[in-house]
Amino acid sequence: MEVARAAVHGMVGLALGTVMAVLELAWVALTAPLLAVPSTRTWATRGSRRLAEADRLRVNRFLGGSIPVGPAGARASAYVAMRALIGGLGGGALVLVGTWVALSWRALSGGADERAGTSWYDPITWTAFAVLVLFLAAQGLIGLAALERRLAAWGLAPSDNEVLRRRVEQLHRTRAEVLEAVDDERRRIERDLHDGVQQRLVALGMLLGRARRLDDPDSAASLLRQAQEESGHVLEELREVAWRIYPVALDDGGLSTALESLVEGSSVPITLSYDVPVRPQQAQETVAYFVVSEAVTNALKHSRARRVEVQVRQVDGAVLVRVTDDGIGGARQDGRGLSGLARRVAACDGRFELDSPAGGPTTLRAELPCA
């Protein structure tokens, strides 16, 4: 089934390539004189780049290519000219195959007079000839598809210098985003300490001060009990703040243990599915944990979710994280918490996706390469 689907895709890709070849040949004939004039060269090159981009999409979609977006250089015009010739070859091969199929159908489905004039060995001859032609046609079309991919890789893929330049730009961008995410995290920790722990410590100090000023032992003992309870709340909030900075369970038991602790401390039911046979590196584990933690926190605080589903699995050298809740939706990736997560994932060369329509459900996906 897969072979048949690939064959159909290849035939469609070559047929579209034939149509593109006619357009490209006409474009080359039209713009060849314009390339020699500086004032019109930019316009001609821009049209060549658009035709080349359409070809790149066709090769990737139908011919099994994986050509990234290449540079917008002068190679586009040369590629379009060479592609017109290759597309013509593909069109010729398809026309020959179609012609042979039509002639064979006419010969085998002729009238009674035509069948009476055939010998007993004619069907065997036609069958053998059909197998030979189909074999040659298949080999020719496969070769043309491979030639299309190689030509696209030469004319459309970015050069090594272009790849290096893009990588440097990406690293500069992700470095700035990570620094911004760290600053946002520091500000959030400061708010948690100021609005939570500090306020409880102030209340604790006031309780102890009132207990010292009282002469009634019973009243003082009651205030001391309240102070003891308040100190317990302070310790809980300190643990939560420290856990948000970095969960110790990641060092002790790895990502699975940290996620289990997160699930146990949740106020809503969380279904955890964990399938990571090979433990990832510490950086990937940390990012995966914070993706789940932030998604669960948003589901509890903003989405009014009643159930959360967490899936963490390892596929093709990457850790895939998926968090789904049945809340009201409406989450935005440019929000403070989720934007920080997206920057964390990008710093690991990963991908971050958020789907949260109004009314729910909300699905957050992150893909983290293990290497």
Q: What is the CATH number of the domain that holds 201?
A: 1.20.5
pLDDT digits (tens, 9 = 90+) for 215-230: 777 777 887 788 777 7
- The per-residue pLDDT of the chain, averaged, comes to 77
Mark whether 224 and 208 lie in a shared domain.
Answer: yes
Identify the sign of the CA torsion 291, 295, 169, 155.
positive
Q: Are strands 318-325 and 270-275 parallel, antiparallel or unpaired?
A: unpaired
Instruction: For residues 230-234, give the mean pLDDT.
Output: 77
The backbone region for 352, taken as left when phi is positive above 0, alpha when psi lies in -120 to 50, beta otherwise, is: beta
Mark whether 39 and 187 lie in a shared domain.
Answer: no
Looking at the predicted structure, is the pLDDT value of residue 118 above 60?
A: no
Looking at the predicted structure, is the pLDDT value of residue 255 above 70?
A: yes
Q: Considering 245, 263, 290, which residue would you say is the last residue of a domain?
A: 245
Q: How confident is the model at residue 258 (pLDDT cuts 50, 70, 90)?
A: confident
Phi/psi at 25 (5° precision): -65, -40
| Contact (CB, 8 A) for 329 and 241 | no
| Full-model pTM | 0.54
* Secondary element (H or E) of residue 314: strand 308-315
Alpha-carbon dihedral angle through residues 322, 324, 329, 330, given to the nearest 10 degrees: -10
| Contact (CB, 8 A) for 321 and 353 | no
Look at residue 109 in the predicted model and tell me its pLDDT.
63
Mark whether 134 and 183 lie in a shared domain.
Answer: no
Please state the domain count of the chain: 3
Could you tell me the residue range of the domain that residue 40 belongs to? 2-158
Q: Which two structure tokens, joined as six digits, stand for 220?
A: 């003082």
pLDDT digits (tens, 9 = 90+) for 310-339: 899 988 878 899 998 888 888 777 766 677
Looking at the predicted structure, is the pLDDT value of residue 208 above 70?
A: yes
pLDDT digits (tens, 9 = 90+) for 62-115: 887 777 776 555 677 778 878 877 777 777 777 777 777 776 666 666 544 545
The rounded distance, in Å, linking the Cα atoms of 311 and 252 is: 21
Mark whether 188 and 149 lie in a shared domain.
Answer: no
Q: Considering 123, 158, 193, which residue would you say is the last residue of a domain?
A: 158
Q: Which residue has the higher pLDDT, 11 or 115?
A: 11
Mark whether 16 and 143 lie in a shared domain.
Answer: yes
Q: Which two structure tokens, joined as six digits, stand for 204?
A: 């604790």
Mark whether 266 and 324 lie in a shared domain.
Answer: yes
Mark whether 216 and 260 lie in a shared domain.
Answer: no
Strongest mean pLDDT among 60-69, 134-143, 233-242, 277-286:
277-286
Residue 317 DSSP SS3? coil
| Contact (CB, 8 A) for 324 and 269 | no
Nearest one of 251, 333, 238 to 291, comparing CA atoms = 333
Look at residue 28 in the predicted model and tell me its pLDDT.
80
Mark whether 279 and 267 lie in a shared domain.
Answer: yes
Q: Which residue has the higher pLDDT, 77 or 258?
A: 258
| Sheet architecture: strand order including 351-355 | 270-275, 308-315, 318-325, 362-369, 351-355
The owner of tokens 């929000």 is 335
pLDDT digits (tens, 9 = 90+) for 130-139: 677 777 767 7
